């Protein structure tokens, strides 16, 4: 007989099970709430103190800091030392994380805080030597400028000390697990040298063209040159004879954005409604959070100046005082040359020069890397400059490329910046320009006395031979620099009859100018549109200037769309291609967010380049293709005139290139926005987020890019510049700073800083100017004291420790 034993199972009553489940859920909610509370507490505790009183060691007298409704600090001090000390302190309050990353990037010290992924970048900048150049520049400065640098550094360090004591560094430091070290005068100068790097000098174009000559038949290589090189046969032979592996040597190079540039213009009082000059400036650089620019007003008995500066540097580099205003665009001259150096097979650190083996300087740079051992990086510096072609590897070949560059020499740009603020007329401002060596800039100027002026200013080399088109032999003195364009002969315009002056990185000299500046000017479309606007009527207002800064008329499309349409035959097009082309028929050539035609046109231009080049040119070399957009324009124009070059012919001629690239563009647009071209919209792809450096790590993007993506008008070649990442469509490049000044009242200006003043994600000024930036809005910044009424007020007083 089978005995069945029943096992008793304890069963919880339904109400008890519900209570347990509820307890678990409540526990999880409580833990999440605690974590969220702690997180927001961390965010809040790092917010800078902007009201009340702070005692600070290092001040000599009281300083008052007003922050207006746009977050612009108005710093009122009783002496110059305290003014720049307070500027350092206040800037660090808002931007210390950005400042620290900036000095680390310039100095090749990012790996120390972000890890191994930054090693190649650090090697590049250690090789380049921006920090070494900053250190060499310090002794050039006057005692006054050195005192300014020291006061600024002391102010930054006063903030670092306060934040360390209160454990209130911005949350980015907590995420990365480190604290900023003491700020030095060299840190500020290194950031200045980095800006010279960011505005370039075309070494990458020389490397790219050398690669073309070593890889393709000479005729095909020269087809992608903007002009035939001077002393061509000799230099071409030297390039072909080198044993440098260009893709291997430069695959990890850091290349400035190809569209870095700007717009600026100045209109005389005869053409302004106020009877005084108007000045407008909008520099085009990378767009990010925080903004590359920091707006500040500095006031003391000696100064009353307002404008922007790069966070980490004292003074105001673009702006106005009570008498003058000024703005810049990039000249983009050839100030970098690659020299082909012949290495001694018996001694890898000796290089041939005029039949002698000359020993190079060798520096060992130690790169500290987070969570792993440090790396010793060897930098070899010839008489021409650092060997650049071996920074990513240590395979010494018989030849190498050394970089000669004006910015690697000692230079006193900050001295000029400090003098700009004190200048009262054109003569004083022009005298300050003698100290601004690099990067060479197109300065426009206006003053209350009615003067308007322009100057292309900086050190631009004169070469014994060659024209900076290709790397040149470094084993002979035949290609040395013999000096610089004489200061009195730099391009200058004062009070022209036309009544205005404008620049947009365009060619600024005629063919009769006796000196070489560059082969690689920007495409002419922004400058042509600015001139078209400024010639359109007799008088203008500040509102007109703001409207022009946000103009998105596309003159490139106006030129090429009619040309393209001549070569398109419907019998060889698909239905979707014909539907897409219909968008162009009603387009007014303005890059609006709600229209599909800009999407099609810009994809089409990109696919023309892809169709021509991508199958043949090594992918690691394409980023070095300096002036690619200008070259593509040139190839299209020549083919339309019946003069197709090898690249166009080998792809079947202009008609085939246009048909095939159109299909690629249409397919690309259809993949993203569907197969109904009538529903395509430029703004659904072309949008701006102002990405934070840590936002690439998800889910930090939700925190740091809190506003999300906003559709943006314009493109790379419109006056209202908005360059984008071709893969994602994200707008990553443009005028983070726009400014307009009517010299009838130089104590006020109309400005916007995209996305905002503050680097603290919890601040109301973190991304509060995004809407203005994407819609053409501005805030008014005044320097007459009226800002005191509606601003927060922070009193900085000397500590008893002084």
For 695, the 3-state DSSP assignment is coil
pLDDT tens digit sequence for 378-408: 999 999 999 999 987 777 789 999 999 999 9
Which tens digit of pLDDT belongs to each residue from 243-262? 889 898 888 889 887 777 79
Task: Give per-residue pLDDT as tens, 145-160.
Answer: 999 999 999 999 999 9
Q: Do 222 and 432 meet the contact criterion of CB atoms below 8 Å apart?
A: no
548 near 719, Cβ under 8 Å? yes
Q: Which two tokens stand for residue 441?
A: 């800039």
Contact predicate 709/725, CB 8 Å: no
pLDDT at 331 over 80: yes
- For residue 46, is pLDDT > 80? no
Q: Please say if the pLDDT value at position 802 is more than 90.
A: no
Structure tokens at 754: 């995209």
Which has the closest alpha carbon to 144: 419, 437, 411?
419
Please check the confidence at residue 35 and state whether its pLDDT lies above 60.
no
| pLDDT per residue as tens digits for the range 599-616 | 999 999 999 999 999 999
pLDDT band (50, 70, 90) for residue 25: low
- Per residue in 549-585, pLDDT tens? 999 999 999 999 999 999 998 788 999 999 999 999 9
Please give the DSSP secondary-structure letter assigned to residue 272.
B
pLDDT score of 1: 42
Instruction: Please answer whether residues 559 and 589 qualify as being in contact, where contact means their C-beta atoms are separated by less than 8 angstroms.
Output: no
User: What does the alpha-carbon distance between residue 249 and residue 392 come to, in Å, rounded to a whole number?
Assistant: 7
- Other Cβ atoms less than 10 A from the Cβ of 48: the count is 22
Six-digit token string for 508 = 């600024």
pLDDT of residue 10: 52
Amino acid 670: pLDDT: 98
Contacts of residue 197, Cβ cutoff 8 Å, sequence gap at least 6: 106, 128, 130, 256, 407
Q: What per-residue confidence (pLDDT) applies to 16? A: 64
Half-sphere exposure of 789 (CA within 13 A, CB side): 5
Please state the rounded mean pLDDT for residues 91-100. 98
- Among residues 539, 555, 628, which one has the least CA distance to residue 257? 628
Percent share of the chain, pLDDT over 70:
94
Mean pLDDT over 641-670 rounds to: 97
User: From CA 120, how far away is CA 107, in angstroms rounded?
Assistant: 13
Cα angle 632, 636, 637; round to 5 = 115
Residue from 515, 383, 381 nearest 458 by CA: 515
Q: What is the mean pLDDT of residues 10-24?
A: 61
Res 6: pLDDT = 47
Tell me what the mean pLDDT of segment 422-436 comes to. 98
pLDDT score at 696: 84
The pLDDT value recorded for residue 255 is 87
* Of 574, 578, 579, 584, nearest in space to 605 by CA: 584
Quick one: pLDDT at residue 353?
97
Q: What is the DSSP letter of 353?
A: E
Mean pLDDT of the chain: 93
Instruction: Using the predicted structure, report yes or no on whether residue 774 has a pLDDT greater than 60.
Output: yes
Q: Would the pLDDT of 163 be above 60?
A: yes
- pLDDT band at residue 229 under the 50/70/90 scheme: confident
Q: Cβ(757)–Cβ(48) under 8 Å? A: no
pLDDT band at 14 (very low <50, low <70, confident <90, very high): low
The pLDDT score that the predictor gives to residue 137 is 98
65 Cα distance to chain centroid = 29
The whole-number pLDDT of residue 497 equals 96
Is residue 30 scored above 70 in pLDDT? Answer: no
Query: Is residue 3 predicted with pLDDT exceeding 50?
Result: no
Q: Strand pairing of 730-734 and 687-688?
A: parallel
Please give the residue that has the higher pLDDT: either 11 or 69.
69
Residues 281-307 have a mean pLDDT of: 97
β-pairing verdict for 304-310 and 792-798:
unpaired
Between CA 378 and CA 395 the distance in angstroms is: 12
């Amino acid at each position: 007989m089978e005995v069945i034993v029943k096992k008793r199972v304890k069963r919880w009553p339904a109400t008890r099970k519900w209570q347990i489940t509820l307890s678990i859920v409540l526990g999880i909610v409580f833990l999440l709430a605690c974590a969220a509370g702690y997180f927001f507490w961390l965010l809040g505790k790092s917010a800078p103190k902007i009201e009340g009183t702070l005692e600070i060691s290092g001040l000599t007298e009281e300083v008052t800091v007003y922050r207006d409704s746009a977050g612009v600090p108005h710093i009122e001090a009783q002496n110059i030392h305290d003014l720049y000390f307070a500027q350092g302190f206040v800037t660090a309050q808002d931007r210390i994380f950005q400042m620290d990353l900036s000095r680390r990037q310039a100095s090749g010290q990012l790996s120390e805080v972000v890890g191994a992924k930054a090693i190649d970048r650090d090697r590049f900048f250690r090789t380049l030597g921006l920090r070494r150049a900053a250190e060499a520049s310090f002794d050039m400065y006057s005692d006054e400028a050195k005192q300014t640098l020291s006061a600024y550094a002391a102010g930054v360090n006063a903030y670092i000390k306060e934040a360390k004591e209160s454990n209130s560094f911005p949350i980015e430091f907590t995420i990365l697990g480190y604290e900023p070290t003491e700020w030095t005068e060299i840190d500020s100068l290194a950031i200045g040298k980095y800006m010279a790097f960011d505005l370039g000098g075309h070494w990458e174009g020389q490397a790219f063209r050398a690669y073309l000559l070593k890889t393709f038949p000479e005729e095909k290589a020269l087809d992608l040159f903007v002009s035939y090189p001077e002393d061509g046969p000799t230099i071409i032979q030297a390039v072909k004879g080198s044993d440098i592996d260009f893709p291997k040597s430069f695959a990890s190079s850091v290349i400035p954005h190809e569209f870095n540039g700007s717009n600026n213009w100045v209109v005389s009082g005869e053409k302004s409604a106020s009877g005084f000059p108007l000045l407008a400036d909008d520099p085009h650089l990378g767009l990010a959070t925080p903004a590359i620019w920091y707006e500040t007003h500095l006031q003391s008995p000696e100064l009353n100046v307002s404008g922007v500066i790069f966070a980490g540097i004292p003074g105001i580099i673009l702006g106005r005082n009570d008498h003058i205003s000024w703005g810049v665009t990039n000249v983009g001259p050839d100030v970098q040359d690659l020299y082909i150096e012949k290495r001694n097979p018996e001694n890898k650190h000796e290089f041939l020069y005029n039949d002698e083996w000359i020993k190079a300087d060798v520096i060992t740079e130690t790169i500290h890397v987070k969570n792993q051992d440090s790396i010793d990086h060897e930098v070899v510096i010839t008489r021409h400059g650092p060997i650049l072609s071996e920074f990513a590897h240590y395979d010494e070949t018989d030849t190498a490329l050394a970089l000669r560059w004006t910015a690697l020499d000692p230079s006193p740009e900050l001295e000029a910046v400090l003098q700009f603020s004190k200048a009262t007329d054109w003569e004083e401002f022009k005298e300050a320009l003698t100290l601004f060596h690099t990067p060479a800039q197109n300065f426009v100027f206006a003053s209350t006395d009615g003067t308007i002026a322009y100057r292309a200013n900086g050190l631009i080399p004169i070469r014994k031979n060659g024209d900076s088109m290709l790397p040149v032999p470094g084993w002979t003195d035949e290609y040395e620099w013999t000096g610089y364009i004489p200061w009195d002969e730099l391009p200058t315009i004062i009070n022209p009859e036309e009544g205005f002056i404008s620049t947009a990185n365009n060619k600024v000299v005629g063919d009769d100018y006796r000196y070489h500046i560059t082969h690689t000017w920007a495409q002419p479309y922004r400058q042509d549109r600015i001139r078209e606007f400024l010639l359109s009527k007799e008088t203008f207002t500040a509102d007109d200037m703001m409207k022009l800064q946000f103009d998105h008329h596309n003159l490139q499309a106006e030129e090429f769309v009619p040309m393209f349409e001549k070569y398109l035959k419907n019998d060889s097009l698909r239905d979707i291609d014909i539907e897409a082309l219909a968008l162009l028929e009603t387009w007014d050539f303005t890059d609006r967010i709600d229209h599909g035609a800009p999407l099609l046109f810009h994809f089409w231009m990109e696919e023309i380049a892809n169709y021509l080049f991508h199958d043949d040119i090594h992918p690691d070399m394409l980023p070095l293709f300096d002036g690619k957009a200008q070259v593509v324009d040139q190839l299209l124009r020549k083919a339309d005139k019946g003069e197709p070059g090898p690249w166009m012919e080998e792809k079947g001629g202009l008609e085939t290139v246009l048909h095939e690239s159109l299909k690629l563009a249409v397919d690309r647009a259809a993949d993203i926005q569907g197969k109904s071209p009538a529903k395509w919209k430029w703004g659904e792809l072309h949008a701006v987020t102002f990405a934070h450096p840590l936002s690439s790590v998800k889910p930090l993007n939700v925190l740091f890019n809190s506003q999300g993506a906003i559709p943006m008008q314009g493109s790379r070649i419109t006056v209202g510049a908005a360059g984008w990442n071709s893969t994602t469509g994200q707008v990553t490049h443009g005028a983070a700073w726009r400014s307009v000044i009517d010299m009838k009242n130089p104590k006020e200006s109309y400005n916007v800083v995209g996305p905002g003043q503050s680097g603290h994600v919890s601040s109301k000024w973190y991304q509060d100017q995004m809407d203005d930036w994407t819609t053409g809005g501005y805030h008014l910044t005044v320097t007459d004291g009226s800002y005191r009424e509606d601003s927060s007020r922070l009193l900085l007083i000397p500590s008893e420790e002084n």
